[in-house]
Amino acid sequence: MWGLGMRFKAMRHLDATSPLRHFEPATATEPCSCGFGSKTRAFAPKARSLGPITAPERFIGRPCAPLVNHVVQHAINATIWRMQIPYELILGWRYTRAGRATRRNGFISFISGVSMLGIALGVAALIIVLSVMNGFQKEVRDRMLSVVSHIEIFAPNGEALPDVVRTLAQVKANPQVVGAAPFIATQALLARGEDMKGTLVRGIDPAHEGEVTDLAADIQSTVLSRLIPGEFGVVLGGELARSLGVMAGDKLTLVAPSGQVTPAGVVPRLKQMTVVGTFDSGHYEYDSGLVLMHLEDAARIFRLEGPSGVRVKLRDLHQARAVAAELATTLTDRLLIRDWTRQNRTWFAAVQLEKRMMFIILTLIVAVAAFNLVSTLVMTVTDKRADIAILRTLGASPGSIMGIFVVQGAMVGVIGTLAGLALGLGIAFNIDVIVPALERALGATFLPRDVYLISRMPSDPQQGDILPIAIISLVLAFIATLYPSWRASRVNPAEALRYE
């Protein structure tokens, strides 16, 4: 409808500015003045005027038929192309980018821009927050697994394994296992002067510990090699060593949890240890409370006949639960099995719950911005009542009228969502640069190490979070357009045009 109107308008314009002409073939001595006939002058027709020659014609020259045919053909092609596009889309897009010709249209355009900005900011906030939470969870998990093995197999009540060689052989027979090492785990006190700290003591085999944890693999040749059986050396976490004020070569006193019975009563067992090095895993909990010593020294101090468990590393850490279930059926001894997801189950559950709540809260922000489209479309419908009435009298159906305003609201939702995706992903992928700059500018630390376990702001945008955010934003924007669009389709043409 709109394309045909433009075509008729163009034809009327040509008729009004040039007299009616009859075209005849031009001769070689009468070239075309427009350039279209200069190369094919034998086919260029000349114009024989059926009326007086106007002043513009004297200046420009006689019109060329190929030029006119070219213009007409171009207009026809444009008309056909425009007729293939539903006029609901054309009008909806035109209303979306409506100019500010009047004060009322300018205000409607401003409200539409605010709605678009609100959707963009809500989508960007959702992406940034969820990306940071994903990055925080991944960073803590990776640092945790650099110290903790994927699976731990241990005897009940902290006793020694019945047959550690058989247990290691059965564990390594599983195709998912890439490494296994024996260990002893217990709690003790470390004292230096008047300072005393509660610690987790882990007896390890320096030759095989690197097979099960990344931290041990990194310090195996530098620090762990100093753990020699019989010398009672210890490797402390960096934060623990700083809190006790010790460094390599200093002496410490280890207080075992089980005392020694004497005629004078129960006396705690004490052993002087030598600090041979420190480690820094990046995880504050382990850096401030973990002590490593040789497996034989730990067995001697805590009076065990051998290792109390086996630590296992898998090819895929996400298969830990399945592999643990398989090992439970293949191990012959009565042992307990625990995978890494159960060792810190409370922490991971809390992170997941917080992530869900943040998603719901920030989705409400997107919903508020999306439903601002209701007021925008209501004002647009009120402003365009005359246009709606004219379209109805020309034969437009109520469904077409509804489609026009659905397109307008959907366009605002799509543009806002795309802008929010671009903004959110841009910040999420560059947050490691943005946050340090803000910390330097404000002179503040957003992530204290002793509170958040890590000291830098991580980010991990995931497709599983971004796609639902975009879909929810588009769906909310579409839902917000339904009621105003339905009201527009119910406009009575006679009532709308009564006072026009």
Instruction: Give me 474's structure tokens.
Output: 């588009």
> Which of 262-266, 455-459, 468-472 has the highest average model confidence (pLDDT)?
468-472
Give just the sign of the alpha carbon dihedral 21, 23, 24, 26. Answer: positive
Is residue 93 pLDDT above 80, yes or no? no
What are the pLDDT digits (tens) for 207-264? 888 888 888 888 887 888 888 888 899 999 888 998 888 888 889 999 888 767 666 6
Q: How large a percentage of the chain has pLDDT more than 90?
A: 9
Residues for the chain: how many in total? 500
Q: pLDDT value at position 291?
A: 92
What's the rounded mean pLDDT across residues 483-487? 86
pLDDT at 159 over 60: yes
Distance of CA 453 to the CA centre of its chain: 22
Mean pLDDT across the stretch 1-18? 40
Give the pLDDT confidence score for residue 52 in this predicted structure. Answer: 46
Q: What is the rounded CA–CA span in Å between residue 297 and residue 230? A: 6
310: β partners: 153, 182
Which two tokens mark 385? Answer: 């009542």
Residue with tokens 């019945």: 162
Q: What is the pLDDT of residue 42?
A: 40
Residue 222 in tokens: 């530098």
Concatenating the DSSP letter of every residue in 314-380 gives ES-GGGHHHHHHHHHHH--S--EEEEHHHHTHHHHHHHHHHHHHHHHHHHHHHHHHHHHHHHHHHHH
Comparison of pLDDT for 35 and 295, the residue scoring more: 295
Of residues 14 and 159, more confidence is placed in 159
In the prediction, which pLDDT does 418 show? 93
Of 492, 465, 229, 473, the C-alpha closest to 381 is: 492
- Give the Å distances, CA to CA, from 43 to 62, 74, 167: 15, 20, 98
Query: Cα–Cα distance between 299 and 302 in angstroms, integer?
Result: 5
- Looking at every residue in the chain, the average pLDDT score rounds to 77
Structure tokens, 186:
């217990």
Higher pLDDT, 218 or 422: 422
pLDDT digit string, tens, across residues 115-136: 888 889 989 999 998 998 888 8
pLDDT at 53 over 70: no
Q: Say whether pLDDT at 166 is over 50.
A: yes
